[in-house]
Structure formats: structure tokens, C-alpha cells
Amino acid sequence: MLMRHSLIRESKQIMKNYRTKIISNQEISPGYFRMKVLAPGFGENAHPGQFVMFRVQRSLPPLLRRPFGIFRTGFLPADCDGLPPVEFVEIVYKVVGSGTSIMAELHQGDRVELLGPLGNGFDCTSRQGEKILVGGGIGLVPLYMLAGELIENGCSVRLLMGGRSRDDIFAVTEFERLGVETYISTDDGTLGEEGLVTQVLERKLQKYPAAEVYSCGPMAMLNAVHNICLEHNTPLQVSLEESMACGVGACLGCVVKGAGHTEEKPSYLCSCKVGPVFKSQYLDWSALAQNNSDCGGCA
């Protein structure tokens, strides 16, 4: 609790429950969907790395809302004169279970609810320098807004995109349009370099030793990224995906162990409130890696 103040950056937190409608919901790659949802006023309060709690349907089940990173926010062009442009928030999701399967069946005009923007996103106040973004699969989602903001700040941004196969790589041209240099690697070599994204990171850090790293993806990847950054003495921010019930700091179900956690002096950080983005030095990585080996292999 003591660390909380130093961890949360000052930002106006304006969160809302949007009872709203789907603008579009399209499959962009096998198992991956992009969904645009009407959300007036959302964009001005949203920071890179924040998330929403999405209510899949009015009826139960599934009972709890599902957390999703904000891919981007924007305005649809007005389709006839005189009408104001409509603001949307866009998420990208992978179908992994009951909730996301229902989402995949939703159509334009269907009613949904989302709570947001939530959590503490990336610290991207830095005005210059080399930034390396490392995204694995669905972990690419929060990096899009981040890349946009870093580039606007005058940073040079390299994005290392990793996945099991080509199906896990999306939005490449959109990232490139922002002015990001992209490097793709896949485990099976079906797109880009064959191998792990962390190999690419090793090479880039040799070339740009002063870079800062931002990462989101499966825990095994984050853990490897953390170890590499530790070795190179590179500052790292990671976005975690803990199971959540409330998303607003009320249930204390989403905590992760903080650095220096012991049985006698426990430190649990609320990942929906203090996170989902953490500076890596504040986390207990041995505990995170341990929890990962407990997980059924979520990506």
C-alpha cells in the first residue's frame, strides 16, 4: 500500500459504464477479432495500456465481465453532412473460452456494456530516445496506442512482433503507418524470422543499448524479456493479464506479488488499479514465473 503512491502516476481518472452498441465486429485472422464499440467521450480519457471490462451480453452467463486492452480510440467519419462524427473504442480479442466465443457471434447494433478506461497504463512521458516494444500474440493490443504516443513524443519506435504462427500477427500495416519499424518472428517460421521474439530483442539491445523496453504477451515471454532487460540493465515496463472480477480495485482478486514479497512481509499489488502496466523492478518475477507454470497455457 505504501508503494502505491509512487506507482500510480497522476492522471485524471474518468471512468464510465458505457451502455452501448457494436459498430463492427470482424475476424481479422483465424480466431482473432476486432470490435469497434460506440463510446462518446472515451478517447480523451484513455491512456495507452489501459483496459475495459466488457460485458458480453445482458443475460447471464458468463457472469463476470472480461478485461480487454484498448487497441485504439477514434472517430468514424460522418456519413452525411451535418451529423457529428461518432467516437468509438476498438478492442482486438482472441477466442479462448466461453465469453470470447459469445463475443465472436455478436453483430453490428448488438447491445454491450463496457466499463472504462480502467487501470494505470504505460508511462510514456519520455520525450526522446530509442523505444523497443515487444508484443506476443494478443499482447500486441496495448502497444498500438503506446507506439502512437511515443512517436508523437519524438521517440523512435521499433516493434518486435512475435507469435506461434502467422495467424498470431496482426495490424502490421497499421503499426507501420504510425511510423513504427516492425520486426516479425514466428515459432514456426510461417511469417518473418523463425524463432522467438526474444532472440530479436537480444540483437536489438546490442545495437541500441540505451533503449527502453515495453512489453505485453504470454507470461513465459514476459519473463524472458524481463531476464534479457535485467542483463542489459534496460528499463522495462510490462502489461500483465491477471484474472479479474471487478476491474476497479474492489474485490482484490487480481493482485500480483510485488518485489520483495515474503511470507512475513507480504506485498500484493492490485493489477487492475496499480497495473495492469508495471515497471518490472516492482514485481516479484519468481512468483510470476511460478504462476505461469500453473496456468493451462493461455496465450
Partner 1 sequence: MSELIDKALKRPNLAVEIAGIKLRNPVMPASGTFGYGEEYAPFLDLEKIGAIVTKGLSLKPKAGNPTPRIAETTSGMLNAIGLQNVGIDAFVQHKMPFLRTVNTPVIANFFGNTLEEYGEVAKRLNDIPEIAAVELNISCPNVKQGGIVFGTDPKAASEVVTLVRKYLQKPLIVKLTPNVTDITVVARAVEEAGADAIACINTLTGMSVDIHTRKPRIANCTGGLSGPAIRPVAVRMVHQVVQTVSVPVIGIGGIVTPMDALEFLIVGARAIQVGTANFVDPTAMLTIIDGIEQFCIDEGIDDIHQLIGSLKF
Ligand X SMILES: Cc1cc2nc3c(=O)[nH]c(=O)nc-3n(C[C@H](O)[C@H](O)[C@H](O)COP(=O)(O)OP(=O)(O)OC[C@H]3O[C@@H](n4cnc5c(N)ncnc54)[C@H](O)[C@@H]3O)c2cc1C
Ligand Y SMILES: Cc1cc2nc3c(=O)[nH]c(=O)nc-3n(C[C@H](O)[C@H](O)[C@H](O)COP(=O)(O)O)c2cc1C
Q: Which residues contact 13 (CB under 8 A, 6 or more apart)?
A: 45
251 near ligand Y, rule: CB under 6 A: yes
Among candidate residues 288, 201, 197, 185, the one with its CA nearest the CA of residue 242: 288
Stretch that binds ligand X, among 72-80, 88-96, 162-170, 278-286 (CB under 6 A): 88-96
DSSP string, the chain: -TTHHHHSPP-----EEEEEEEEEEEEEETTEEEEEEE-TT-GGG--TT-EEEEE--SSSSS-S-EEEE--EEEEEPPSSTTSPPEEEEEEEEE--SHHHHHHHT--TT-EEEEEEEESB-------SSEEEEEEEGGGGHHHHHHHHHHHHTT-EEEEEEEESSGGG---HHHHHHHT-EEEEEETTSSSSEES-HHHHHHHHHHH-TT-EEEEES-HHHHHHHHHHHHHHT--EEEE-----SSSSSSS--SEEEBTT--SSS--EEETTTT-BEEEGGGB-HHHHHHHHHHS----
3 near partner 1, rule: CB under 8 A: no
248 near ligand Y, rule: CB under 6 A: no
Stretch that binds ligand FES, among 155-163, 184-192, 245-253, 277-285 (CB under 6 A): 245-253
Minimal distance, residue 31 CB to ligand Y, in Å = 31
For residues 39-78, which are near ligand X according to CB under 6 A?
51, 62, 66-69
Binding map of ligand X across residues 156-195, x = CB under 6 A, - = no contact: ----------------------------------------
* Residue 232, contacted partner among partner 1, ligand FES, ligand X, none, CB below 5-8 A by kind: none
* Residue 272, contacted partner among ligand Y, partner 1, ligand FES, none, CB below 5-8 A by kind: ligand FES
Between 219 and 244, whose beta carbon lies closer to ligand FES?
244
Minimal distance, residue 245 CB to partner 1, in Å = 5
122 near ligand X, rule: CB under 6 A: no
298 near partner 1, rule: CB under 8 A: no
97 near ligand X, rule: CB under 6 A: yes
Stretch that binds ligand X, among 23-31, 89-97, 159-167, 206-214 (CB under 6 A): 89-97
Rounded-to-integer distance, Cα 186 and Cα 162, Å = 6
Binders of ligand X: how many residues, by CB under 6 A? 24
Instruction: List residues near ligand X by CB under 6 A.
Output: 51, 62, 66-69, 91-94, 96-100, 138, 141, 241-244, 276, 296, 298
Instruction: List residues near ligand FES by CB under 6 A.
Output: 244-247, 249-254, 270, 272
